[in-house]
Amino acid sequence: MFKDIFNVSGSLYTLSGKNFISGKTGWPAEVVSEFDEDIIHEENIDNVFEKLKELNDKGELQLYLYPNRPTFIPKDNSDLIHKVISWGKRGINIDQFFKLYPELKEQYLNQLKKEK
């Protein structure tokens, strides 16, 4: 599925980092700017999936393709429970999540009870 999703062309933009700040989203690695940013450089990528594999092979990122996953991510996907609770509290519809991971519904409900 990952290959199907990323078997597309795209662009990678280089921007100045002066206006970007962290801590604005639920993802610690994400930075955002409240301003329109000028593009310093654009790299056209013919095939994003192939580029990701290339960067993985060079050691510039770690790409985990199913069924492989980092050791810090539990095999039962229970690490997602706290994220889903956060999404629900922010008003994000989480029904689709439970269509993908129905086995986590009970853990989700139990965790919600603990947090009340």
Model confidence over 30-78: pLDDT tens digits?
999 999 999 999 999 999 999 999 999 999 999 999 889 999 999 899 9
Same structural domain, 90 and 53 = no
User: Is the residue at 105 inside a domain?
Assistant: yes
Domain that holds residue 42: 2-57
Tell me, yes or no, whether 44 lies in a domain: yes
In a domain, 19, yes or no: yes
User: Looking at the 3D structure of the chain, how many domains does it have?
Assistant: 2
Same domain assignment for residues 46 and 84: no
* 14 shares a domain with 53: yes
Give the separation between CA 22 and CA 25, rounded to whole angstroms: 8
Residue 15 within a domain: yes
* DSSP bridge partners of 39: 15
Q: Which of 90, 94, 68 is closest to 80 using CA atoms? A: 94
Other C-beta atoms lying within 10 Å of the C-beta of residue 84: 20
- Do 7 and 53 fall into the same domain? yes
Report field, pTM of the whole predicted structure over 0.75? no
Give the position of tokens 């409240």: 34
Tens of pLDDT along 76-85?
999 999 999 9
